[in-house]
Amino acid sequence: MNIDKVSQETIQQPAQETARRPEVTGFRKLINMIGADNLSLIFALLVLILLITVVSGWFGMTGGDKLFSWQNLMNSLAQAIVIVGLLAIGETIVIIAGGLDISVGSVASVGSVVAASVLVGVGTVGGLGIFPPGNVYIAVLAGILAGMIAGLINGLIVTVLRVNPIIATLGTLAAFAGIAFLLAPEGKPIGVLTQPEFTWLARGRLGTGLPVPELGGAAWTGIPVLTVILVIVAIIFHILMAYTDFGRAIYAIGGNETAARLAGINLTRVRIHMYMLSGGVAGLAGVLLTARTTSGNPINGVGLELQAITAVFLGGAATTGGKGTIVGTFLAVILVGVLNNGMNLLGFNTFIQRVALGLLLIGAVAVSQWRQAREERARARAMAAQG
C-alpha cells in the first residue's frame, strides 16, 4: 500500500495547480457567496416592495406607505414570519434530501398542545404527573421532544416501511392532527395566560433600550423574542447544512440516492435524523404558537405546511432534491411575509391572499423546473463540447 505517493507526486507540480484554479476575488466572489438564486430572490423582494409602496398608489390604493414603519416591521412582519419560517427551515432539509414532509403543521399542533399540557399540568401528557407543572423550560423541551418523536415516526415509516415520503407524511398529517386533539383534555384548547414567563416567548422584546431612530412615525420598540429565535434556528441549520458531514449527506442523498449509498452513506440513519430535526423544529414552532395564542390549541398548526413548502421551493430548492439552501429559504420566508403583510396593508382580504399564495407555490416550482431543465441542457452541451 503506497498510495501516499500521490502527495509527493502532486506537490512537485504546484505551478499547474495554481494555473488551473485562479482565485476568485472582489465582486465576483461576493456574487458567488450570495448565490445567483438568492440574488434573484433579493431582486424579487425589491420589486415586491416597490409594488406595495409605490405602484399600488398609482391605482388609488392606500396603506402601502405603512410598510416601512417600526410599528409594521417589528409588530406585524417580523412576528408573522416566525412560525412559517421555522417550519420552512425544517422542511428545507427534507426537500433537499429529495423528500417532503407534509405533516409539519400537525406536528406543530402536537407540540403546541404538549407544551401547554406540561406547563399547566392537564391533559394526557401533563396529567402523567412526571413533569413538574409551571416549569417553562421543561414545557418548551417537552414540545420540542414531542415534535422529534413525531419526526422519528415519520422517519421510520419512510425508511423501515419504505413508504413514499409524500404518502407517509400525508398519513401522519391526518394522524398527528388527531393525536393533537386526543392529547388535549376533551379536545379543548389549554389556556396558558397565567404563565407570563412562557408568553414572554411571544411577547417579549430584546434591545428595547437601543438608540434606534424612529421609522415611519413609530418609535423603536425592540426586536421580538420570536424573531430572534427564528434567526438563531436559521443560523444553526445553515451551519449544519453548509459545514457538517450530515449536511453533505443530505445533499448527496437528494442528488442521487444510489450513488450516495454506494459511496458509503447510511441512508436510513441520515433520513431518520433528518425527519427528527424537521419534527423538532415543528415542535418548537408549536411551542411558540402556544405562547403567541396563549393556548395549546389542537388546531394551531392547521394549514401551515402549505406556506412552509411554498417558501422552500420559492427559496430555490429543487423538486428533485440535491439543491437548496437555508439562506434561500430564509429570504423566501421574508418574501412571502412581505407579500402577505403588503396585501394586508393594502386591504386585500384573506381569500385573495390564499389565491396569491397558491399561485406563488405553482410559480416558484415552475421557475425551479425551468431552471433545472436549463441546467440539464447546459450539462449536455458541456459534455458534448468535451467529447
Partner 1 sequence: MEVKNLNSTWHRDVSFYVNAGEIVGFSGLVGAGRTELAKVIYGEYRKKSGQIILDGQEITIRNPSEAIAKGIGFAPEDRKQEGLILKRSVLENASMAILKRLSRFHFIRKRLERETMGQYVDRLRVQTPSLDQEAGKLSGGNQQKVVLARWLAVRPKVLILDEPTRGIDVGAKAEIYQLIDELANEGLGIILISSEMPEILGLADRVYVMQNGRITGELSREEATEASVLELAMVDNLAVSDGEPAAAS
Q: Rule CB under 8 A: which residues touch partner 1? A: 1-3, 5-7, 9-11, 13, 16-17, 20-21, 243-246, 248-249, 251-252, 255-256, 258-266, 318, 322-323, 375, 378-379, 382-383, 386-387
Closer residue to partner 1, CB minimum distance, 62 or 266: 266
Q: Which is nearer to partner 1, 318 or 338 (CB)?
A: 318
Residue 247's CB: how many other CB atoms inside 10 A? 18
Closest CA to 295 of 378, 177, 184: 184
- Residue 191 pairs in a beta bridge with 295
User: Residue 14 or residue 217: which is nearer to partner 1 going by CB?
Assistant: 14
DSSP string of 143-189, one letter each residue? HHHHHHHHHHHHHHHHHTS---HHHHHHHHHHHHHHHHHHHSGGG--
User: From the CB of 261, what's the least distance to partner 1, in Å?
Assistant: 6
Structure-block grid coordinates of residue 344: 394586508
CA-angle at 199, arms to 195 and 205, nearest 5°: 135
- Cβ-proximal residues to 175 (8 Å cutoff; 6+ apart), any chain: 106
Report the residue number, 269 or 354, with the smaller CB distance to partner 1: 269
Closer residue to partner 1 (CB): 15 or 130: 15
* Neighbouring C-alpha atoms within 13 Å toward the C-beta of 62: 0
- Tell me the closest approach of the beta carbon of residue 29 to partner 1, in angstroms: 12
**Cβ distance to partner 1 smaller for residue 203 or 261:** 261
Nearer to partner 1, 9 or 186 (CB): 9
Residue closer to partner 1 (CB basis): 260 or 289:
260
What's the gap between Cα 324 and its chain centre?
12
3-state secondary structure of 200: helix
> What DSSP designation does 65 have?
G
Distance CA 301, CA 318 (A): 25
Q: Are 330 and 34 in contact (CB under 8 A)?
A: no
Nearer to partner 1, 13 or 349 (CB): 13
* Per-residue DSSP letter, 77: I
CA 46, 52, 56, 62 torsion-angle sign: negative
Task: Quote the CA–CA distance of 217 and 200 in Å, as a whole number.
Answer: 26
Phi-psi region of 225 (alpha: psi -120 to 50; beta: other; left: phi over 0): alpha
* Cβ-based nearer residue to partner 1, 138 or 236: 236
DSSP H or E segment with residue 295: strand 295-296
CA 174 – CA 187 distance, rounded (Å): 15
CB of 132 to partner 1, least distance (A): 34
Residue whose grid cell is 450516495:
260
Q: C-beta of 376: minimal distance to partner 1 in Å?
A: 8
